[in-house]
Structure 1
Amino acid sequence: MQILDGQVVSQATKDELKMKVGQLTAAGKKVPHLAAVLVGSNGASETYVGSKVKTCEEIGYKSTLLRLPEDISEFKLLQAIEDLNNDPDVDGILVQLPLPKHISEAKVIETIDPSKDVDGFHPMSAGKLVQGLPTFVSATPHGIMLMLEHYKIDTKGKHAVVIGRSNIVGRPMSILLSANTNPGNCTVTVCHSQTKNLKEICLQADIIVAALGRPEFVTADMVKEGAVVIDVGITRVADTTKKRGYSIKGDVDFQNVSPKCSYITPVPGGVGPMTIAALMANTYRACMERN
């Protein structure tokens, strides 16, 4: 069993981007500029956005963090996004989800200029992905593909099972794994809350991507010997033995599943760091395409 270490792959990706930014700076060219929009003060969102801003500094990107109140109107939020769309210095825009209930996430995503959609959530980005056209790919699936590539995991002709069908992870992941690329060329089964015989389907899988948001859902009796397991889940579970009062759990029962795997991602330290690395790669690409 080998650990797929997201910290290592993420650092390699960031080091490469830092070198490229150094070359841009030396040539007197524009460096990438990422603008993040944070509505309200959700603790998890604060952490995520903070790490994205910190990573921008580490690589040498310019970053802007736009903090907006929880009760901002949808109209004013859309206006703020339009201002970023129209700012020629901004290359990438991300609006941290989830948003307050009175704001339509769909409207917000559709308002972002597709050429600055570094999260890869815009319907135009999603449509291009389906058609196999160059586009921004949602950062978590993109990060997983970078990890598979880094570890030279053979995916050609393999049976991949994706548990979860969200537009952020499950759907784009299934498209990427089935694409005529390397990594890719898998036969993909997408499972979800209504799937019957989930255990039997998972036992056929050479690769399992668990992205359903239920802690330790994938158990050892669902995984065949030698499978590759990618755990996208990250849930806070109450834990009185911890000083902070909670533990971070993935969607996979790591302790019992890992001995059966050829490769597995830990939680934390697996997919999470890759998501931010992929976002940074998307932002660099946006800058190159715009300038």
Structure 2
Amino acid sequence: MTGDARIIDGKATAAALRAEIGREVAAIKATRGLTPGLHVVLVGEDPASKVYVASKERLAVEIGMNSVAHRLPAETTEAQLLAKLAELNADDSVDGILVQLPLPKHIDTGRIIDAIDPAKDVDGLHPINAGLLAGGKNGLVPCTPLGSMLLLKQALPSLSGLDAVVIGRSELVGRPVAQLLLQADCTVTIAHSRTRDLAAVVKRADIVIAAVGRPRMVKGDWIKPGATVIDVGINRLPDGKLTGDVDFAEAVKVAGAITPVPGGVGPMTIACLLKNTLTAFHARRG
């Protein structure tokens, strides 16, 4: 380690969360004879998506869930995909449905997300779940923001009154994580590519959540000394190495706590997908 910041270990936290979910799944099987079921739909041959889906499948099976991957060819039509979702929505043994993104260009992603039963939408992207989150009510929350918050609360047991800056305004990460920070009584600023003097905005934050998808954009001198930094970015460099949206080598010398890339938020995303599947199971079956 090159500096004073505490490294927030997403790998270890994700492993502990998966073990906890595994114990709960075993208890459900033993007492109720039921097994929570996660179904992932993959359309096409995107290499990164294939790796993600295989990993989700393996980890779900490892903790004792029913895990099924529906691998459909790239030429699958929107109508065929909607028919597959209707079938999964109607199947009572399916607790969680996730459609792996990105979808092929000829399919309207919005229409597909809207077609998933909100009670089974373990990605937390359905407008009903987004609305519940915005209203501070219980719904299924997107996995990466949920994982980011679990890591943040590990570093800072009380978030109340802290100044948080979220860099990025995507529906997948930026907006939902801002809602979760508001629920935790933070003062929240959502910054983005059009924000004036972004460095100065970030500099005043006790909490920085970087989710822009630009390698090492956030410099060490942007960080307030002692701030907690959650780096959601996963960018592949020309040499094949992974790096985050934060310049880790610089920021680690200034921050109080920071997530590495890889090994920070990434492992938490799949662990939270399994957590959401269990949440959906309980909400559906009482």
TM-score by length of structure 1 reads 0.95
Instruction: For residue 132 of structure 1, give the secondary structure of its aligned residue in structure 2.
Output: coil
- In structure 1, give the amino acid aligned to 2:224: K
Query: Any conservation in 2 of the 1:235–1:249 contact (CA below 8 Å)?
Result: yes
CA distance in 2, matches of 1:153, 1:288: 27
Query: Any conservation in 2 of the 1:9–1:150 contact (CA below 8 Å)?
Result: no
Give the number of equivalent residue pairs. Answer: 281
Aligned match for 1:281, one of 269, 272, 275? 275
Aligned match for 1:18, one of 14, 18, 22? 22
1:178 CA drift (Å): 0.8
Over residues 186-218 of structure 1, what are the superposed CA-to-partner deviations in whole Å (9 max), with x where a residue is unaligned?
100001111111011001011000000000000
What are the within-5 Å matches in structure 2 for residues 1-291 of structure 1?
A: 1-179=5-183, 184-239=184-239, 246-291=240-285
Query: Any conservation in 2 of the 1:118–1:282 contact (CA below 8 Å)?
Result: yes
Over residues 223-270 of structure 1, what are the superposed CA-to-partner deviations in whole Å (9 max), with x where a residue is unaligned?
11101000000011111xxxxxx1111101101111111110000000
**Identical columns (%):** 48
- In structure 2, give the amino acid aligned to 1:189: T
Instruction: For residue 54 of structure 1, give the secondary structure of its aligned residue in structure 2.
Output: helix
Query: Any conservation in 1 of the 2:155–2:257 contact (CA below 8 Å)?
Result: no
1:152 CA drift (Å): 4.2
Over residues 152-203 of structure 1, what are the superposed CA-to-partner deviations in whole Å (9 max), with x where a residue is unaligned?
4431111100000000100000010011xxxx21100001111111011001
Instruction: For residue 11 of structure 1, give the secondary structure of its aligned residue in structure 2.
Output: helix
1:144 CA drift (Å): 1.2
CA distance in 2, matches of 1:14, 1:172: 23
Gaps of 5+ in 2: none
CA distance in 2, matches of 1:220, 1:210: 13
- In structure 2, give the amino acid aligned to 1:79: A
Instruction: For residue 256 of structure 2, give the secondary structure of its aligned residue in structure 1.
Output: strand
RMSD of aligned residue pairs (Cα, Å): 0.9
